[in-house]
Each structure stands twice: as C-alpha cells, then as structure tokens.
Structure 1
Amino acid sequence: MLRDDLRTLWTEPRPPDAPARVRRDWVLLAAGLAGVALEATLREDVVWRPVAVLFAVWLCVLPLWRRTRPLATVTLAFGSVILLQAASLVAAPSEPVGLNTGAIVLVLVYALPRWGSGREIVLGGAMTLAAFSLCAVTDDVPAAEQVVGLVFLLLPGAIGAAVRFWLTARERQLEQVRSREREQLARELHDTVAHHVSAMVIISQAGRVLAATDPSAAVEALEGVEEEGARTLEEMRAMVAALRDRGVGAELSPPAGVADLERLVRTPGGRLRVDLGIDGELDALPPAVDAAVYRIVQESVT
C-alpha cells in the first residue's frame, strides 16, 4: 500500500493553468526588498553584511518563478543556504550568516506542493530537509527550538498541499455535475428528436392518404413536415451547443415544462384546435416531473 502511494505521488502531474506572475508577486518582491533594506540598515549585528544582503535579495527574487519552476526555485534557494552554511563553517563567524527577511523562502515551500509535480515535490522536499538538517547540526540551537523550526518550515508546505487537494476535489465535483448535466441534455435531445420525428411521420402518412382526394391537404401536410423539420434542427443545434464542453460553460436554457404548455398547444396556422386545462399548484414540481408532464402533453398533441 505504501509503495503504491509513493508511486502515485511520484507520477502526479502538475496542476494545469499555473499563472506565471500576478500583481501580488510584484507586491511581495517590493515588500521583501524593502524589508532587506530596513534590516540591513537598522540591524547592527549582521554578520558578513554584503553577503547577507545579496543572499536575502536573491531569496526575494526567486518567488517570481515559484509557480512555473517550483523545483528549480526550491533547489536554488536551499542550495544557496547549504553553500552559505558551508562557507560560514570554514570562516567560523560568531553568529549565523543571513537576514531574518530570508524567511520569505517559506513562500517557496508553500509553492512546491501547490504547483509542483509529484517528482518535484519529492526532490524539492529532500533538498529542503537537507538544508534544514545541515543548519540544525552546525548551529548551536536547543533540540526543542529545532523541532519548532522544523514545524515552522514544513507548515507552509502542508498548507499548499491542502489547498491543492481541496481545489482538485472541488474541480472533480464540478466535472461530475457537468457530466450529469450533459447526460440530462442528451436525454432531452433524444426525447425532442423522437417527438418531432414521430410528428413528421404522422403528418407525412396523413398527406399520403389525402393526396389522391385533396391535393391541397397534402400540400399542407408537406408544410407541416417542413415546419417540424426546421423546429427539430433548431432545437438540436441549441442542445448540441450546450452538450459541447467549452471550458467556460455554455449558456443553458431550462428544459421545457408545464409553463411551456400554452406555447405548445398553439399549433402553426391554427389547423388543429387544442383545449388545454391546468388545475392545481404546478409551479413547484420537481424538474423530472415537470419535464415528464410536458412530454406527455407533447405526445398527446402529436
């Protein structure tokens, strides 16, 4: 079971339609650079000040590519942390090198499970843990603080994974709703075409019977077939357009129901008189019953 879960995670694709950059990315960059400037100016105990400032600026710039290149940004960020930590071990400074503004790297930790593929999540997570492990070993920090730091580091990744899972589940539910709507429209299309074809058959049979004795009635029958055919094509085009999955959704009209019966009984040309009587509260019928009543009356008129 665990092996199957890992294989599924490894083959998980990236989420579609990841935005390259939006306005808040530039706001985040500006806020990060402003924080770097303020901290570098006001803080007095900065070790290797030029290096620390350049490193913090580098971490502020990387989030611009966090959605389109999640693994690359995490690798560059935490790889730089490893290199800086190794350099500090060689030079043996009295304090850790870096600015507190470097916490902006947590944005990359969030973006990795939110926008990365399964393979990128695994590899980027390994790089993140390697950098944290090196810092935990080399820095003189109590174990309790290291545990808190690890939780603080992994929490954005957990949030990113939760957001991705929620959006995927929501999209799956929407797709199921769209599938049910298309299925309902397909049944409606079948009923509509069956009704009109039945009407055309009946009218053509009547015209054939009357052709020998009343040619004008036969001509009227042909006109009726033409009207039914045109109406069938019109309704088919509308429903087929609704059945197509256009991504943004087609404009759907509700299926015909009791409210459309008055229009149904008004036959073209007034060649047939139909009396319609509606009794009772029929405004709150379930959609299936509403459509069924309309179809029964439609077949009766035919």
Structure 2
Amino acid sequence: MNRSQPRKKAKQVRGDPDPNIGSGTSDSDIKNDSGSDSTNVSETGIVEKIRKENCCARCDTPCVLLTNATHHRYSMEELSMWATMINHSEWESYRRPPKEVLERVYKNYPRVMLPTDLTGQPTVLAKGRRPPASDSAYSYPPNPFPGWNPYLAGRFLNVPPGPSYPIPGPSTVPFYSPDTTTSYTNIPPNPPADKERYRSPSNDDQSVEYPTISDFFVELETIDRGNHYFTNYMNLFNQHGYFHLDELAVDSLTAERMVEIIPGMTDGTARAIKTKVSSKIKKIKGGNRAKH
C-alpha cells in the first residue's frame, strides 16, 4: 500500500457521531496544546526572573518593603499573578510589582497604610540597600532635633494623613534630679533578739569562759558528729546574734525555734544541738568547780 495516498474517510452511519471528530489528532488541537505549553514555560521563566530581581539579602527570598518597614515575602500566587500580567503585556517591570499584586499584598496587613501612589510602589530592600529618599512611601518630616535619627524613629510610626504634630525627641524628655536629702534602703531589719540571751550571768557563770559556737560545732564534727553536719549552721546562728555556747542554752531558743529561724535545719539536728549544748555546759561548769 502506498503511504502517500490520503487516508479514506470513515463511513458515517446515520445517527452515529462523526468518527473523525474528537479523535485528538486535528491540527487545531495540536496548536492549542503547543501554545499552552509555551505559555507555561515562558511564565515559569518570568517568575524566576522576578525572583532574581527582587531577592532580599536579609530574607534570602523575594520580598517587598511595606510602608511600615515590614518585609513581606511574596507568595507563589503573587509571583504567578505578576508573571501572568507581564506575559500578557499588562505590566513591564520585573522590579516593581503591579498595582493588583500590591493590593493583594496589603490585604494581609489591614492596619498598614497603603502607599500614597500605587503606581510608584515601595522599593524592595534588595542586597541590603536602604530605600531611596525620593520614594513617597519613605518620606519623613524634617528633623527638629539634631543628632536624632528620624529614619529609625519613623520605622515605628504609622500616622494617617492629617495635621502634623511635632515628633518628640530626646530633648523634650523631662529630667528629674535624684533626691539627695532622703535615702531609701532595702535592708531588712535585724531579727528580734531574745531578751533572755542577755540575762545577767549567774555566780557559776562569772568565771566561766564558754567557747564560741564555731569552735563548738567544729569540735562536734571532729568527735561526735553522727549523721549531722553542724558546721553548716555556724554562720546562720551568727547572723541571728548567737556567738557563744551558753547563748544556745537559753530556754527561749527551743528546738522548734531553731528549725524556724535557721534555713535547712531539721528537727533532729536541732534536738541534737540542744542536747549536746546542755551536756557541754554541764561539763564546763563541773570542771570549773573542780578547779576551785
């Protein structure tokens, strides 16, 4: 069979659809498919070019700087809308977003003012550069305070159009000199002293020298410590005004009182201290009588 001969048209039966329609091999279908593919390829290239032109050194992604100095990262939908408008010759710039894209961006920030001129959109802060001073979206009032940077202060201003007011600066902050006539301290008062601790010494105590609490606790640690660590509480007793052994023997300083005023002391340790203090005092007094 000669391949150059045209293919015969299929015979159509009455009531049946035309077998040559919808076969998927027509020239118009091939053209439409190829045109759709070329459109997708071209828009993909446009998106990549937009990404490259608007890449921000700070965000490491394409973004736009809003009027309140916020970096908005373009979504894929926003980039696709931008690329579609360029592909259909509705927009030319790869650097400035179209009005429709910018309005879509600002819908995410209802409290942020739109730029005064939507055809001259805010410049993207790319490659770490500051926006140009001529841009209407970044214009600031004249600086009434020398040495004060209005650019840094203006980043936090979002004042709607209206009557202008002077921007407060460092020189308007009142200064109050400290009051040198009155001194305020935050030092807690000393703990109340036990009156009985300062009782007049008895006849037996007149010629007796009692060791300090520190020496007594060191002695207990060396000889008869048991399961207690008495030296941990030496400084704590001194802070409450107890320095000598006989001061721990007063009736007002019970074991319960020790637990209350000495942080970390257990009831068993307090009772052991009272017992050993009483025994030590009796031993000292007995030795003193033997000398006489």
Give TM class, smaller chain: under 0.3
TM-score of the superposition, structure 1-length normalised?
0.23
Name the structure, 1 or 2, with higher relative contact order (CA <8 Å, separation 6+).
1
Please identify the structure whose Cα radius of gyration is greater.
2
